[in-house]
Structure 1
Amino acid sequence: MALQDVYADYYGKWLTEGSMDYIDFDGLESCMYQGHGQYSFKRFFRGLFDSYYRHGGKYLRVMGSAVQEGSWHYMSVCNVGGGDHMFNPVYNKWGIEGKDMRYVFESSYFPATFGIQSYQSNWSLYDAENLEAKSIGWDATYMLGLSQQAVEASGEKAAIFKAINIWQQARKAAIFTRTIKARLKNLKYKFHLERSASGRFSLFSVKENRFTDTPLVAKGTVLNLQNEFDTQPMDLSLQLHMPKEKSIQGLSIQLAGAKAITIHETLLNGQYILIKKACYIWLIQDANHWTPLWQIPGKKSAKEKVKLKSVPFNQMQICKR
């Protein structure tokens, strides 16, 4: 118990020296193991807050996954787990801790949380937006874990951080009604949010067709896409997986029976082929190296742009030559 008092005093001093106003504990097992029941929690937090204020702190937010009778009145958020154990924004899938989000927090006055969600270098723009959409749908907070390595290796980092900012602006403006939040919870969809120069927000549903571990063969692999919305240009992200010593040349992509597009650059393991609006193709080595591979040639008139958008992209074919 004496050592616990030392830690409480040290944490309060350390937080103020670093100009920090929140701290996240895990399960607070050290308080449980003292053998003094709830008194251990009360004594630790009382010492922590006294030290924090004594050293010049103003307001301390405390998070952790263990809300006990002796600690709840000191805590701001019950921060349960995180990552894929809570929610996977890529596959739109709950983990084992998702039950806490869906059942426990719905009957609690504590703010709900998705825990710690670490930025992944292979996230697409829609994956990151899905994390925002689902957390807003459930009225949940989350802590975004960042590492320089993961961010710098992310091909769409600029678009992702811009999108997160737009979602947070909309959240702050309280534009999401109860009906919209219920829609955002739907695991069948991801969502895309835009903000115009006039400040108007536009929310779009995104239906993702995902194909995993699809082999590339010389005769071609046909992937059938289901588009339940109005006819629209297609976004496509293709990541290549192969042994590190291998490479691919002459990858061919054909959209909806149109002329096949052959990529002559040498493609390596982990690289992405990114198609936006069915107009542009990039090879992404990392966030700082986007190589434009193909663009619809010539200057397009407004009429031709409309015509382009009317093409129903419901099938694509990929083959290796």
Structure 2
Amino acid sequence: METVEEKLAAMREDLAERSGVLVAFSGGVDSGVVAAVAQDALGEDAVACTAKSETLPDAELDDARRVAEEIGVRHDIVEFSELDSPEFVANDGDRCYHCRTMRLGEMFGHAKELGIETVCDGTNASDPGEGHRPGLQAVEELNAYSPLLEHGITKEEVREIADRYDLSVADKPSMACLSSRIPTGLEVTEEKLTRVEKAERILREWGFSQFRVRDHDGLARIEVSQDELEVALDPDFVETVREHLSDLGFEHVTLDLHGYQTGSVSPADEAEEDDEPLVENVFETDYSALRSE
């Protein structure tokens, strides 16, 4: 069995043999490692490229800029809108396929302008086994190159490599695009994306590390990691989040007692009735009134 050192060396050698690569760069740990290794192998012939759209939170774009600076890699930004696609807006079970197709399409277009033949993404060896992942189909159809997958580098190993490169995102939780907060079958709109982004900004400011605010057509379902549920029940947080999310247009604010779950609004999670999340309307309680009694 290959060691992490051997896999990393093979990946670096692989990329060094190319005339140049453009890395589809979100600023997360996977694309961060690909960009770092590409920069290590190719220097100025490596480019990290981030696609800016309505589904990318401003905080994530800021992270991408910061991580690119840490790596020392050239960082380009292209802009497009998934909302131009009726298939994406319809939000069926293949929303991620339509999104990834458009996003990678922008990468290939920019790579062509730069005279770069290879477009890399951050798919790792753990991704294919993680359930409903229609975005991977787009990667295959567009023939994007996934060096982490090609060299059998798992998510755990990606984080180990990120540590070796001293990347600040080595332990950063995965952060899917904002459209993943809207349940399958509900139309994706700019209004929903904006209020989800603003709602999650509040949780970020309170120090939560793993969280989502799911927009169930006016009902906000907050998910945080199991070890942060106690903080989510703090009366001061409850009052703050209830007030701010109501101001954003949410009619009801709830906390999912199952905690954070990836893909909890995707078709795969709707297959079994027993898998439906347990939702508690804890934020309907007026805690300020209770404290005054």
Structure number with the higher strand fraction is: 1
The structure that has the greater radius of gyration is 1
- Tell me if TM exceeds 0.5: no
RCO greater where, 1 or 2, for CA within 8 Å and sep 6 or more? 2
Structure number with the higher helix fraction is: 2
Q: When the two structures are superposed, what TM-score results if normalisation uses the length of structure 2?
A: 0.31
